[in-house]
A and B are shown apart, each in its own frame.
Chain A
Amino acid sequence: MISCLLIQDFAASVERINNPALQKEPLLIVSDSKRPKVVAMSALPRRLLIKTGMTLRQAQILCPIARVVTANEGAYQRAFAHLLQQLLRFTDRLQPEYQPTSAAIYLATDSERQQLLDFVTEMLSVGPALGVSDKLFTARVAAAFAMFGGPTKVVESGKEAQFLATYPVDTLPLTKDMRRRLPLLGIRTIGQLAALPQLAFWEQFGKKQLWIHELAQGIDHRSIQTYTPPMVLSRKHTFDDPINDYQIVQFVLRQMVVWLIAQLAGREAGEIALLLQLENGSRLELHTKPHLPVKDSTFLMRHLEALLYKQALTDSIVEIEVQLSYIQQPKPRQLSLFDESPAVTRLEDHLPSMQHRHPNTYFQRAILIEAGPYAPPEEQFELEWVGA
């Protein structure tokens, strides 16, 4: 059996843990830009129909009493990684699905349900929902159901199609084209879609989308793989006395950099974090994603210095920590005696780090597809992701 743990308003609960003063306040979490947009929210603004992507002004009209917090994406992702790390005590077969609005975790276990719920409630101070089923997709829908009906919803084996039948067809992971065409064909629920003959579905939407028809019938072949936590290299130094001399901090940083690069042992890191504990009790977290992976000490030191000087320190430093994350092996390349690999391939090698640096931007390729003679240009091709 598969359990899907659904944590609604994940970012808001992280903000509340980091700042207990926000505990009972409705929260609007907005992007750090000139025209802030809502990226996440707490329960009350969600009930007042505030959606992600709304401008702050629009959101404040709907919920004027909400406290506005600037999003700290790094902190949310670290909290999520920490939660996954802790959940490994239940099972090592985990599959994360992170979004600031709602985070879902699939676990290949159905025992210890109550312990699991209690554990997450204690960690995040919010009550998660749990959906249990034999199939991944049904477990996810059951978890969303449990969010309103009660903390746990179990779908018995063999009754997946029956459970899904009444849900709107939009619940399925439809393509844009299917989302437009299915209502035109009069299909509004998953049950109606499941009742269609497979051949008819194939003819309408092609072989590639057949798996959606199978999902509607409660058939889901996807399984949960063993989860390997992302590796993080960290080095911490605690000063005997609080320090406000940049030269001493630089000297310590240089020593830490030498150690970290030695530990990297030829691998590459995609993200650098500098954590400073100040004498007044506050903690500064500075992050950067360099445009090239970190693999040598000069490059790392330059970025750490830039981080350090960017921030005006208000007090002396008590403790300093450097973290390297998103560590991966450099991609092996076929050595050639005669010519270099084509430039297109070399750019594809850069795409994972580019993707890490620009998480909402995707590199795509246009693939021409067969369409009718009168189809508009936008229906004559599909965009296919390149790289990750």
Chain B
Amino acid sequence: MVDSKATSQAAAQAAASRAALNDILLDIQRKHGHRTIHLANALATDGALLPSGVATLDDLLGGGFLRRKLNMLVSQPTSGAMSLVFNLIANAQKRDEVVVFIDMQAALDAPYAGQCGVDLKRLFIVTPETDTQALELVRDLAATNIVSLIILDGLADIRSLRRLRQSIAAFRTTLLLISQRPAEAAQLQLGVSCANWLYQHQHIIGCQIQARLLRHPNQASGSEVTFPLYFASGSDGDDD
């Protein structure tokens, strides 16, 4: 009897202290901005990873691309990286997540994206004129806390990315940058290349993708996997 009374008192005290702590956090956030302080578990829970949709690649990445972090696909043209990105977008859309594609070079192949399973009606496409505009847009889109995945393709100056790291850390957005050169600021870097082409009746139907982990905060760098990626019907494989 005494024990249960003591337990309920302890629980009430714990609830009161939690409420007080919450008030203090809110007060600090109100005074100094919502990015200044948050509980660590708020960052760790609520799906810290964005699955890529390819099981082998997810194993390599420890579950998927990192939310609240700057992810980077380092690839050369025709390496299959764009097909991989369209698969990632299609998978995110299946989970009702909002995706924004920032296309700096206005070179998005929308018909092929549609063939890869991307719902074009739910994909927002933006083509800013300058890198500065694009980075400010990423910041604002992340701050809405609605956008889950932002693809940034064709940024000319990848040196200015460092400031973005802090901006997106407070929000659950995954920023995926597609570039031909690795950027120092990216927390996750994945090198993608085409190991060989897959043929059927002398037609290219896909490619064997070699993904190499160049940098990851939790996984060993240097490990790599190879997996087949089939192009959507109608593509001859040159679209990437």
A-side residues, CB < 8 A to B, are 33, 291-292, 298, 302, 342-344, 346-347, 350, 354, 357-358, 360-368, 377, 380-381, 383, 386
Interface residues in chain B, defined as those with a beta carbon under 8 Å from any beta carbon in chain A: 30-31, 33, 96-98, 100, 108-114, 120-130, 132-133, 136-137, 139-141, 143-144, 146-148, 239
B96 and A358: CB pair below 8 A?
A: no
Is B125 a contact partner of A292 (Cβ separation < 8 A)?
no
The 9 closest A-B pairs by CB, nearest first: A366-B110, A381-B110, A380-B111, A343-B98, A291-B140, A366-B120, A377-B109, A364-B125, A347-B146
6 pairs across A/B with beta carbons < 8 Å? A33-B132, A291-B140, A354-B140, A358-B140, A366-B114, A368-B111
Query: A residues within 8 A CB of B112?
Result: 377
Enumerate chain A residues within 8 angstroms of B141, measured Cβ to Cβ: 354
| Contact, CB under 8 Å: B124 / A347 | yes
In Å, the complex CA distance between A21 and B146 comes to 50
Closest CB in chain B relative to A373 CB, distance in Å: 11
Q: Are A350 and B123 in contact (CB under 8 A)?
A: no
Q: Shortest Cβ distance from A56 into chain B, in angstroms? A: 15
The reply to whether A347 and B96 contact each other, CB–CB distance below 8 Å, is: no
Structural contact, A366 and B108, CB atoms closer than 8 A: yes
Contact (Cβ within 8 A) B124 A363? yes
Partner of B30, one of A291, A298, A361, A381: A298
Query: 11 additional contacts, CB 8 Å, given A343-B97, A381-B120?
Result: A291-B140, A291-B143, A292-B143, A343-B146, A358-B137, A361-B128, A361-B129, A361-B133, A365-B123, A366-B113, A366-B125
Q: Which residue of A lies closest to B125 (CB)?
A: A364
Q: How far is the CB of B43 from chain A (nearest CB, A)?
A: 20
Chain A nearest Cβ from B191, distance in angstroms: 26
Give chain A residues whose Cβ lies under 8 Å from the Cβ of B124: 347, 363-365, 386
Interface centre among A292, A344, A362, A367 (most CB of B within 10 A): A344
Contact indicator B111/A358 (Cβ below 8 Å)? no
- Nearest-neighbour CB distance to chain A for B150, whole angstroms, equals 12
Contacting residues, chain B, for A291 (C-beta < 8 A): 139-140, 143
Residues of A within 8 A of B148 (CB): 343
In the complex, A115→B121 CA distance in Å? 51
